Amino acid sequence: MENLTILVLEDEGLVALEIVHTIQSFGYKNIYYATSTKRAKELLKQHPINLLIVDINLKEKEDGVEFYRQLISAPLVIYLTAYKDDRTIQRLIKTSPIGYLTKPYRNEELKAMLLLAKNHLLATISTQNKQLDLGDGYIFDRVEKKLLHHNKPIHLGKKELQLLILLISAQGTTVSYYTIEQEIWGSKPVSSSTVRTLIYRLRSKLNQNLIQSEANIGVFLAS
């Protein structure tokens, strides 16, 4: 349950507390609440909130949808609303929420919506772990073992791929020319020019600055 850190924005204090207690009864612990957008923004700066539960009808100039739309870095959101007219629904759909609950909602509906949010968050984390950002638009897919540039695949030869994986595994530390030779060619003797040619070929398929050299020692992947 700890994957979710939740902020409830509801301008009625007693209602906000009731929502918090209900969520706690489901086993979630990291829950905060605010009765104004000002306080909500403060809490968003102070805590790693990854799910907002926002009442659309706030007694302020901006409603819940507008508040969420203006956030620079917006977490997942579930809306609460007393209205389900087409105009309201179309507005909130444009912000890509996990979903919305129409008041009065049943606790089972809220519980199900929280599980959807949790699964969405876990899927996002899984995708982020799957793809390694190398910088300058280059992504390495750890599962598929493919190099992409702005989502377009870049063909790598077998040894080029081996070298890239070796550099990624080193996590920014220098991989010696000797290590490259042993890991890629094994006991087969190769010349230093062969090793350097392989490095050159891989470097030519990336931004030139992504693979840096340490004089007479080896190469490393720049962070």
> 1 pLDDT exceeds 50?
no
Tell me the pTM.
0.59
Determine the length of the chain.
223
Q: Are 173 and 223 in contact (CB under 8 A)?
A: no
**Region(s) of the chain under CATH 3.40.50.2300:** 6-130
In whole angstroms, how far apart are CA 67 and each of 52, 74, 104, 211? 11, 10, 22, 43
Q: What is the mean pLDDT of residues 137-159?
A: 91
Q: Could you tell me which CATH number the domain at 136-221 has?
A: 1.10.10.10
For tokens 């060619």, the residue is 185
What does the pLDDT look like over 31-69, one tens digit per residue?
A: 999 999 999 999 998 888 999 999 998 888 888 899 998
**Region(s) of the chain under CATH 1.10.10.10:** 136-221
Cα angle 58, 59, 60 (rounded to 5 degrees) comes to 90
Architecture of domain 6-130: 3-Layer(aba) Sandwich (3.40)
What does the pLDDT look like over 111-123, one tens digit per residue?
A: 999 999 998 888 7
